[in-house]
Amino acid sequence: MPFTSLHDIFEQTLPLWREALEGKTFCVRVKRRGKHEFTSIEVERYVGGGLNQHIETARVKLTDPDVTVNLEMKTIACCW
The C-alpha angle 18, 69, 72, rounded to 5 degrees, equals: 120
pLDDT tens per residue, range 3-45: 778 999 999 999 999 999 999 999 999 998 888 888 999 999 9
What SS3 class is residue 30?
strand
Domain boundaries, the chain: 6-74
Q: Which of 30, 20, 21, 26 is nearest to 63 (CA)?
A: 26
Q: Is the pLDDT of residue 77 over 60?
A: no
What helix, strand, coil percent values describe the chain, rounded to 5?
40, 25, 40
Give me the architecture of the 6-74 domain, per CATH.
2-Layer Sandwich (3.30)
What SS3 class is residue 5?
coil
Instruction: Enter the pTM of the model.
Output: 0.87
